Amino acid sequence: MSLLRHVTRGSPAVKSGQPTTPHEPNGIFAWWRLSRCDNPPASSGRPDLALTRGKALIPRKIIAPPDAALLVAARRVPPRKGVPSDEVPRCLYPSRIWNVDACRGQGPKNFLLSLGLFLLAGPLFTGCARHEPRADLVIINNMEPESLDPAIVTGIADMRVVSSLFEGLARQDPKTSNPIPGLASRWDISPDGRVYTFHLRTNLMWSTGEALTADDVVYSWIRVLRPETASDYAGQLFYLKNAEAFNAGKIKDPALVGVRKLDRNTVRVELNHPTAFFLDLCAFSTLAVVPRQTISKFGDRWLMARPLPVSGAYQLEAWRVNDKIRLRKNHRYWDAANTRTELADFLPIGSPTVALNLYETGGADVVWDKELVPVELLDLLLKRPDFHAYPLLGTYFIRFNVTKKPFNDARVRQAFALAIDKERLVKKIMKAGEHPASSFTPPGTARYHPPTGLGQDLRRARQLLVEAGYPGGKGFPRVEYMFDGSGGGAAKTHGKVAVELQQMWRDGLGVDVELRQAEWKVYLANQSKKNFDFCRASWIGDYNDPDTFLNLFMSNNGNNRTGWSNARYDDLVRTAEGENDAAKREKEFQDAETILIRDENPIIPLFYYMGFNYHSGRIKGIYGNMLDNHPLSAISKESDPHRVGERP
């Protein structure tokens, strides 16, 4: 069926609420323009079932771009008792359209102009938004956040929003990502480096007007450590005295943990040993301060409270799942005078085509992540001044579930690693300057030179598979390689990598690997539950130190997600964390990483990331940095009154 033919013949004549024939020979489609849709149905779990006639869900295709009158192609259904066949469809699901009145009156010229882009974008490019003013800054943020709870979130897209809502004792410098004063105006460090005394600003208050005090800080950190919170990032507080024992349930009294208030505006923190990067942790989302009274009142549903008390630069105005998160400037924030943008939207769009089209047509101002660039256009777009690439402290890797056969055998894991041509992966698929990874910790990590792991060696790979009992791949059990993706965005890149790896393992080892694509939240949940054989993974450093990578695979780290545990590795990392001698510290980290990437191989590093985003020269306050951190409070958009019709 040609959607374009239907539009040019049928759309100009359609009146609100009236059907017209789209000249389809079999007569199974009808056009509708909706004037209202104020009664959205409950989720059906089926994106292809979107229109309702009475209580019946019927298939649909959305064909209108955001700036056009809404037209819907709906299959005709036979008349049923109580459900007239000519009844106007009442609702759309799961599009972003709840009130379509604002979309009326757009002419066919704009509609046809946008249709070409829309047809490329697919069904995500749907309908019209609520009748509300455009935000001052619109950011495409890739995936829908799993949560906005600082203690729970692990994804980068989640943390971008969370860091705007909730702040910690320190915050990150927008240019360097180094820690700078946040809720604490200053801090003192004892001569032995084990005791930190934080002095809170005297003008702190929640967005709802209540005073923010040292009690809130202590509560927030203890909450992360409570076993019932199940925070994957609880390990970031294990540097505190008794914190790990409290998290493990060995100590029940939170007063024994090394964080307590001295007075209303002073917090004392006692560490197990000197920790060079502790202030970096204080600027990380997990240690942000959350509203204890709201959480006590609403429990797990505290994020539903309205108004939601926040400690950061922005308030949560709206969170419409699969639509947008709208943030408004928190005028009670201690540094509100320097918060640059009043109203900001975060759009959860995973399709590169949709992201690029929205940006090019003025629907978005900033697009994060290289995954939101059409791979076919990457070479061309990298030459444009509004596309920005920079080195990033991040690694793309494979994570094995070592609790399941056959990957409980290190020889099998090593064989899979030795069969991979990383150079081929980078040259064929990744085109933004990425480099093959010979280590898990990326080059450029402060005060560290990583060891070299396994490279390609097919002869050795095949020999290891023979030793493991699978000569030539014979008898090898069925295994699945899981990767995430949605809307053709991440799925496109991760899918291409998966197909290439599949071919390498088939040709090099004689092993057939099945591919399994999972939606983002399912992908995360499967890893946490170890419901996978092996999968693609990535890690962006939380701070510029080898510990942010190597601590990840300690036995007690919630982000380990491999089931792998090695006592020698744990001891080396712990010793390095408390070592003051720089040379000894580096050697201990190097010995640990050698176990990780050469001896045991619960992971396979594939390549090092490049940071990437695109935005026009009118966007200020975004700086390329190794941690890819860009605080929203520092970002603004300049207006240009001298140019008419310019893309916003």
- Listed in sequence order, the DSSP H helices in 202-242 are 214-225
Q: How far is 398 from 497, CA to CA, in rounded Å?
A: 11
Which segment of 118-127, 161-170, 379-388, 509-518 scores lowest on mean pLDDT? Answer: 118-127
Residue-wise pLDDT for 218-277, tens only, equals: 999 999 999 999 999 999 999 999 999 999 999 999 999 999 999 999 999 999 999 989
- Domain range list for the chain: 3-121, 168-298, 389-610
Q: 354 with 473: CB under 8 angstroms?
A: no
CA distance linking residue 127 with residue 66, whole number of Å: 5
pTM for the whole structure: 0.73
Token pair for 603: 């992971």
Domain 389-610 has CATH 3.10.105.10: yes
Give the span between the Cα atoms of 513 and 500, in whole angstroms. Answer: 11
Q: Are 561 and 399 in contact (CB under 8 A)?
A: yes
Strands 534-540 and 387-400: antiparallel
Average pLDDT over residues 41-62: 32
Sequence-separated contacts (24+) of 52-55 with Cβ below 8 Å? 52/89, 52/90, 52/91, 53/77, 53/83, 53/84, 53/85, 53/87, 53/89, 53/90, 54/82, 54/83, 54/87, 55/83
Q: What is the pLDDT of residues 106-129, one digit of tens each?
A: 333 333 333 334 334 443 434 444
Structure tokens at 553: 């695979």
Per-residue pLDDT, 598: 97
Q: Do domains 168-298 and 389-610 have the same CATH topology?
A: no
Mean pLDDT across the stretch 349-353?
Answer: 89
Helices 3-10 and 108-121 pack at an angle, to 10 degrees, of 170
Q: What is the mean pLDDT of the chain?
A: 81
pLDDT for 641 equals 53
CATH number of 168-298: 3.90.76.10
What is the rounded CA–CA span in Å between residue 291 and residue 261?
Answer: 16
Identify the DSSP state of 80: B
**Is residue 632 predicted with pLDDT exceeding 90?**
yes
